[in-house]
Chains A and B, each alone.
Chain A
Amino acid sequence: MTLDWHWKSAREIRDAVQSGAVSALDVTEAYLRRIDAVEDKVDAYTQRWNDTARSMATKVDEKVRRGETAGPLAGVPVALKELLCTRTGKTTCASKMLENFRSPYDATVVRRLEEADAVFLGKVNMDEFAMGSSTENSAIKPTRNPWNLRCVPGGSSGGSAAAVSAGECALSLGSDTGGSIRQPACLCGCVGIKPTYGRVSRYGLVAFASSLDQVGPLTRTVEDAALTLNVICGRDAMDATSADLPVPDFTAALTGDIRGLRIGLPKEYFTDALSDQMREKIEAAIEVFRDHGATIVDVSLPCSEYAIAVYYIICTAEASANLARFDGVRYGFRHPEAKTMQEMYVMSKSAAFGPEVRRRIMLGTYVLSSGYYDAYYLKAQKVRRLIKKDFDAAFEQCDVIAGPTSPTPSFEFGAKSDNPLEMYLSDIYTISVNLATLPGMSVPCGLTEAGLPVGLQLMARPFEEETLLRAAHFYEQNRGFDMGRPPVA
């Protein structure tokens, strides 16, 4: 039965490895074969760490053989987004700027996964420096959606979502600044959660927008997401913004009981911007909750219409500073023809950053400039607080807010890449969660007629991931249909 391991959940793999029913090495080999079989179609991986994976798996097996309890992700094959720092391999951020960069240290989340006995299969594709919603901005290659190879996997964690969806890993880590976990999870038909800001250490996550970035898992089941959160959450002395709060056992929240749960539907999320095929699936999902004893209430998030503008001011401002360090001085690309210091900066950055990254650096530099700061950055910060207030008010009426993850299902390559503003609208439902520092999640809720996945987005109060997971898990167990598997061979 080893052939099937690549479709098993992380939980099943973990249990089997811990009990000795299967060796971690066998599971790893099954995944390596699966990657061999489909990778030329999907192109999720930017680096394959076959030897590392085998030696990590062997270590886990030795632990089991010695009778020790293997960790909570024992033998679970994992793919890591290119912007997580790893001592193994390179950390390229899918950019020419860092195409040969090796990090001297492991990100905290990477270390925690390793300590939990996970097995790393390699690194996966993304939009350059996490800027994009289709993974088309990768300087390495495009990644295809396993449900339709002519379509994008979403982004920026497109490789993470495609790899999970295509059975090329049991789970992956992504990062979410404005929807970069949830939107590709939605487009690829998998589960993706962005934890509350501060829940997971950002140490070793190459920063895009520091006040918005958060690491999170992409999985095939809600339970696997809970299992991964158990491992990666918690205070880290290396990240001053990580919250000093106890980490519950998130799997204990998966009770299947949603009686009395109040689910809020923001009227601003169900406008004409939402395509009919998405709306239909979302509304059907809401009915599942209603049928099982949840209370559905209408709520309003009046500042939603400003979210995109606020987001693109704040994230570009922070990015303009965060990406300043890529200057060719200490590491990364240095233009060989630069003769002066000024040339080194200008030529290196111009040659090694892609157009979207350059656009955002310029936007961010502009909104922070003397004379414009008050009108843009400061005003955006004020509106950001109003957006948070909207959520505070809404959460007085409900425990979970539900809506679409993305306004449209996946789209074909090139469909939006010439129009950045249209691409930015892909994140219209996800970015408010980052601005308000809430936990948010996408759960698959069906396929369109064209066979493309649709995702239901759930949001909760800060640090109430348990509520989120309970609702998502309930839905997953009661939605009444199987998402099936993507057609990729």
Chain B
Amino acid sequence: MDYEAVIGMEVHVEINSKSKVFCSCPTDFHAPPNTNVCPICLGMPGALPVLNRDMVNKSIAVGLALGCKISRWSKMDRKNYFYPDLAKNYQISQYDLPLCDNGALEIEVDGGSKRIGITRAHMEEDTARNTHALGGGQSGIDFNRSGVPLLEIVTEPDIRSAREAHAYLTALKQILQYLDVSDCNMEEGSLRAEANISLRPKGHAEFGVKTEVKNVASFSGVQKAIEFEIARQEQVLRSGGVIIQETRGWDADRGITFSQRKKESAHDYRYFPEPDLPPIVVDDAWEQRIRHQLPELPMARKQRLEAQYGLSGYDAHVITLSRNFADYYEKVVASGADPKKAANWLTVELQALLSEAKAEITACRVAPDALAALLKLIDTGEINGKIAKEVLAEMFTSGQSPDSIVQEKGLNQISDTGAIEDAVKQVIGASPNQVAQYKEGKEKVFGYFVGQVMKATQGKGNPQLVNEILRRELGR
């Protein structure tokens, strides 16, 4: 019997509003502990919440980007439970009437595409952070994070594999970043993903018992945790055991999930409508206003780049992974660069530099028009591709223009036939063995000669001329 995995995802996204969801405190939680706090986010007696409109706007934008229906009438609710990081001992969230529901996200996986249903997206507040590292058995609570706006996005149980889960998270993050509503930094907790996983015999409609995997710090971690959990559940089932409904943590070092909390101890949250906040009424005009402000979304942009610039699906995919990256690309092309060459240089060379420096494209010192200028130097034969890579590296660190780097360092390509002829003759004269091999028909040795000539010209030889002259001088 084959098993099939049934997976649903719950993602908490911190929305990047300037102020918290129910008060005017800044959302910057890097500040010293308990400095971005006020009576409201501390849950002081008598304090009242007021819903941040920017949070609602951004949540509507996410809902629309995910194809959700935006509720004309929704409300906030109180979710009651006791924990020291919860200032009021209830969390203001949305229960039965979320702001957004019934959407879908198209993901690409294994060369095909798949539609993942979005059950709902609802607004809520984040909790404070407990620390137990104060010494002396003391615990501390930092309320800077208390009241930071969160959007919880819940999928249908449409995901069937760890790879699909990874693709879903990637696509979701991409959309959130395009909308500029969150920095989606998983390590800092601004994006938190939980997976509900169950197995069922293939072909069965009924769901199996699920486990929930929490507290994973990266997308690849989520993928590994799901893979592990599927294998674990399958082993349990095959050996005649039963799956226990529970929450499981992920131990990244050992690569295993482990039991955290059994369902029996789950809370009765005693949800009821938040009397301190009026209902959220979104009329057509409000929804339309947000819809008109939506940027071009990743899937649409990818398709446009393919059509407009003749890019491969792969290149268009890589370029549109981030909105900033795609913006950068289009600026390079707008500065006169050949679209395909620009794509190649951007996704390979510049990306490598960025990755090495762990830098974002927005912080890149190479301006889009400077990259276009560099590509032009290659086109006109001013420098060759190999030199161009060095120039790019220099541009990346110094921010100088390609022209001034080429001038200063004398990197102009040697297209002087005489100089190349001299170098070729010198190399041939110094390599009798290789010449003999070449004459015996070992074509491979030709590469050796090219390398030697380029070395002799400090890499500046015009590759075409070097080839031509070598062939001629080697007598074939």
Contact = CB atoms under 8 A, between A and B. Distances in A.
Nearest to B22: A240
A203 B47 contact: yes
Interface of A: 83-85, 91, 93, 98, 101, 103-105, 107, 202-207, 209-211, 237-241, 317-318, 320-321, 324-327, 329-331, 341, 345, 365, 368-370, 373, 377
B457 interface: no
B278 interface: yes
A81 to B, nearest CB: 12
The 9 closest A-B pairs by CB, nearest first: A324-B89, A211-B275, A210-B275, A368-B270, A206-B45, A204-B46, A85-B46, A370-B268, A325-B43
A271 B291 CA distance: 59
Contact of A203 (B48, B270, B277): B48
Given A341-B84, A368-B272, A240 B39 contact: no
Given A103-B44, A205-B46, A325 B278 contact: no
Interface of B: 39, 42-51, 78, 80, 82, 84, 87-90, 141, 268, 270-272, 275-278
A482 B88 CA distance: 49
Contacts of A325: 43, 45, 87-89
Nearest to A236: B48
Contacts of A345: 82
B50 A104 contact: no
Contacts of B268: 369-370
Contacts of B277: 240-241
A365 B89 contact: no
B84 A329 contact: yes
B205 to A, nearest CB: 28
A71 B277 CA distance: 32
Contacts of A370: 268, 270
Contacts of B49: 240
15 contacts: A85-B46, A103-B39, A104-B39, A104-B44, A105-B39, A203-B46, A203-B48, A204-B46, A204-B47, A206-B46, A240-B278, A317-B272, A321-B78, A321-B88, A324-B90
A260 B457 CA distance: 109
A204 B39 CA distance: 10
Nearest to A365: B270
Contacts of A377: 272
Contacts of B89: 321, 324-325, 327
A330 B270 contact: no
Contact of B46 (A103, A318, A327): A103
Contacts, number: 102
A325 B143 CA distance: 14
B278 A241 contact: yes
A241 B276 contact: yes
A240 B50 contact: yes
A83 B272 CA distance: 24
Contacts of A107: 46
A104 B39 CA distance: 7
A326 B89 CA distance: 9
Nearest to B269: A370
A369 B90 CA distance: 14
B42 to A, nearest CB: 6
A345 B43 CA distance: 16
Contacts of B270: 320-321, 365, 368-370, 373
Given A365-B270, A373-B270, 15 more contacts: A83-B46, A84-B46, A85-B44, A98-B45, A104-B39, A105-B44, A105-B47, A206-B45, A238-B48, A240-B49, A241-B48, A241-B275, A321-B270, A325-B45, A329-B84
A93 to B, nearest CB: 7
A412 B78 CA distance: 40
B379 to A, nearest CB: 60
A330 B87 contact: yes
B44 to A, nearest CB: 7
A370 B79 CA distance: 12
Contacts of B271: 368
Contacts of B278: 240-241
B43 A330 contact: yes
A91 B45 contact: yes
B266 to A, nearest CB: 11
A324 B42 CA distance: 13
A373 B271 CA distance: 9
Contacts of B84: 327, 329, 341
A237 B50 contact: yes
Nearest to B50: A240
A88 to B, nearest CB: 15
Contacts of A327: 82, 84, 89
Contacts of A331: 44
A101 B39 CA distance: 13
A206 B45 CA distance: 5
A238 B50 contact: yes
A375 B51 CA distance: 30
Given A210-B276, A329-B141, A321 B90 contact: yes
A93 B44 CA distance: 13
A176 B112 CA distance: 63
Nearest to B85: A329
A318 B50 contact: no
A367 to B, nearest CB: 9
Contacts of A237: 50
A240 B46 contact: no
Contacts of A241: 48, 275-278
Nearest to B276: A210
A206 B42 CA distance: 14
Contacts of A211: 275
Contacts of A341: 84
Contacts of A98: 45
Contacts of B43: 325, 330
Nearest to A371: B268
A206 B245 CA distance: 41
Nearest to A204: B46
Contact of A103 (B45, B78, B80, B141): B45
Contacts of A104: 39, 44
B262 to A, nearest CB: 18
Contacts of B44: 85, 103-105, 330-331
Contacts of B82: 324, 327, 345
B48 A240 contact: yes
Given A241-B276, A318-B275, A202 B42 contact: no
Contacts of A239: 48, 50
A101 B88 contact: no
A233 to B, nearest CB: 17
Contacts of B90: 321, 324
Nearest to A101: B45
A435 to B, nearest CB: 13
A85 B42 CA distance: 15
Contacts of A103: 39, 44-46
Contacts of B78: 321
Contacts of A84: 46
A241 B48 CA distance: 10
B377 to A, nearest CB: 59
A204 B46 CA distance: 4
A339 to B, nearest CB: 11
Contacts of A240: 48-51, 276-278
Contacts of B275: 209-211, 241, 318
Contact of A207 (B39, B46, B80, B87): B46
A211 B45 CA distance: 16
A240 B50 CA distance: 5
Contact of B45 (A85, A238, A317): A85
